[in-house]
Amino acid sequence: GLLHKGGIVHGYLTTSNMLIQNDMIFFIDFGLGGYTKDIEARGVDIHLMRRAIESLYYEFSEFAYESFIIGYKEIMLDEANDILKRVIEIRKRGRYVEGDRHK
């Protein structure tokens, strides 16, 4: 949320591009990132994070993603609504869309 609030998109936001030290999260590898407030770019960041959480931490992926979204909304406020709607659209574009992908 803080990155997006500052107009920064990561471009490949996954747990592999995060470092944790002293209870702080640091993002690395901004090679695909940039400065934009584009809803699509922000939605892609969130979608990629969700996919990473689902593939690596399946047993608690729903809780982890919901926690991520709660924090995102706290930072982005009303701006989050359109972005999260776009995440749903992006998710539906997937090659192998499952029935639960409407969430």
Q: Give the domain ranges of the chain.
A: 2-102
The CATH architecture of the domain made up of 2-102 is Orthogonal Bundle (1.10)
* Mean pLDDT of the region 32-44: 98
* pLDDT of 44 over the 80 cut: yes
Q: What is the pTM of this model?
A: 0.87
The residue among 49, 13, 47 whose CA lies nearest residue 33 is: 13
Tokens of 20: 């944790």
Alpha helix positions (H), 1-103: 2-5, 39-56, 61-76, 79-92
Please, which pLDDT band fits residue 63 given cuts at 50, 70 and 90?
very high
Distance, in Å, from the CA atom of 67 to the CA atom of 72, rounded to the nearest integer, reads 9
Q: Which residue has the higher pLDDT, 97 or 73?
A: 73
Tokens of 44: 């892609």
Looking at residue 95, its pLDDT comes to: 65
- If one counts every other C-beta atom within 10 angstroms of the C-beta of residue 48, the result is 18
